[in-house]
Amino acid sequence: MLCRSPDDLDVAPKDLPPLPRPNRVVLTTPTHFDIEYVINPHMSDNVGAVTREVAWQQWKALRAAYTALDCAPALVDGRPGLPDMVFCANQTLPFYTPRTNTRGVVLSRMHRPERAGEVPHYARFFEDRGYAVKSLPEDLDADFEGMGDALWHPGRRLLWGGYGYRTSPEAYDALSDLLDVPILLLHLTDPDYYHLDTCLCPLDADHALVAPKAFDDAGRALIDTLFDTPIEVPDREARHQFACNAHCPDGTHVLIQEGCETTTKRLRAHDFVPVEIDTSEFMKAGGSVFCMKQMVW
Ligand code: ARG
């Protein structure tokens, strides 16, 4: 059930089982957030460049924005020695199976050893709250970075799977079996767009923010086929302002890095309501709104 081009798709998304929007948000405190190593191009030149107080203020504003949208966040404490743990979209892929009423997460296999120690903290957090915690098969030699690369198509049991930098394509064979879902594979071809959530942001069943330069022709064709209205993001805003690392929790509001002028204009033209947040301290590490939260059922 892996699709690499529109020709591989034998069902329309509307014929797949429906999936409600996840309604709980998890954030991780930036207590130990820092830049101590370089594992993506955005981090180079930024080692040691985080201003702690500013990072805290920005994180608190993000928490307040979710609270204002009636999504009061549950909190995980950041741990010493894990400076990227604040990016809590990466250690798991949450899922919900309506047929069996199962809420769970699949644990990531971080590509970078620097981040591997984050995963057990989230395994425990979700286990303690009654979620089914699943792992990819032990004998599978593949990397998988959770919702950095795997994104649900809004409203359907259908996954988008980015690969090329942090996640290996083999992970999606296993994931498709484990969750019994079709997966639309997107090959990432530009190192600035090292995670799928830096270049594709599904907003609702029809709309998505897209940075076309991140994909090959087959990927762009898949996106254009599956979304009625892809909204193109200028390369400058996607690459340097993380405009695609936005998050639409409710089908209307879009939490997005402050100052993405063209993208916010385009969002308004399609009746979305941008909520601008400054995540500049976190962008130094290669992430913005989308990767600073995890949505669970
Ligand atoms: N420094 C982190 C890394 O390179 C940033 C992760 C940002 N997360 C994301 N989903 N884009 O892994």
Whole-angstrom Cα distance, residue 64 to residue 224? 34
Q: Which helix (H) or strand (E) holds 175?
A: helix 169-179
Q: How far from chain centre, in Å, is Cα 247? A: 9
Residue 197 CB–ligand 1 contact under 6 Å: yes
Instruction: Return the pLDDT at 7.
Output: 86
Parent domain of 100: 2-296
- Say whether 35 sits in a helix, a strand or coil: coil
Instruction: Return the pLDDT at 284.
Output: 98
pLDDT band at 293 (very low <50, low <70, confident <90, very high): very high
Q: Which of 88, 248, 260, 291 is catalytic?
A: 291
End-to-end Cα, the chain, rounded Å:
24
Dump pLDDT digits (tens) for 227-252.
Answer: 999 999 999 999 999 999 999 999 99
CA-based angle 87:22:221, to the nearest 5?
Answer: 80
Instruction: Return the pLDDT at 170.
Output: 97
**What is the number of the ligand 1 atom nearest to the C-alpha of 285?**
1
Instruction: Return the pLDDT at 244.
Output: 98
**What is the number of the ligand 1 atom nearest to the C-alpha of 149?**
10
Dump pLDDT digits (tens) for 4-57.
Answer: 988 898 888 889 999 999 999 999 999 999 999 999 999 999 999 999 999 999
pLDDT band at 66 (very low <50, low <70, confident <90, very high): very high
User: Taking Cα atoms as reference points, which of 121, 122, 77 lies closest to residue 104?
Assistant: 122
- pTM, full prediction: 0.97
Dump pLDDT digits (tens) for 252-284.
Answer: 999 999 999 999 999 999 999 999 999 999 999
Token pair 């530009």 in the structure block, residue: 190
- In this structure, the residue with its CA closest to atom 11 of ligand 1 is 287
Ligand 1: distance of its center to the CA of 12 in Å? 32
Residue 156 CB–ligand 1 contact under 6 Å: no
Q: What is the CATH number of the domain that holds 194?
A: 3.75.10.10
Residue 291 CB–ligand 1 contact under 6 Å: yes
Instruction: Return the pLDDT at 248.
Output: 98
Whether 291 is catalytic: yes
Whole-angstrom Cα distance, residue 158 to residue 17? 9
Q: Which of 195, 207, 247, 253 is catalytic?
A: 195
Domain tally, the chain: 1
Amino acid identity of residue 231, one-letter, is I
Hey, which residues does 160 pair with through a beta bridge?
Answer: 151, 184
Whether 201 is catalytic: no
The chain-wide mean pLDDT, for the chain, equals 97
Concatenated DSSP letters for 85-108? TT-TTSSEEEEEETTTTEEEEEEP
Whether residue 210 contacts residue 197, with contact meaning beta carbons closer than 8 Å, is answered with no
Residue 281 CB–ligand 1 contact under 6 Å: no
- Say whether 265 sits in a helix, a strand or coil: helix
Residue 28 CB–ligand 1 contact under 6 Å: no
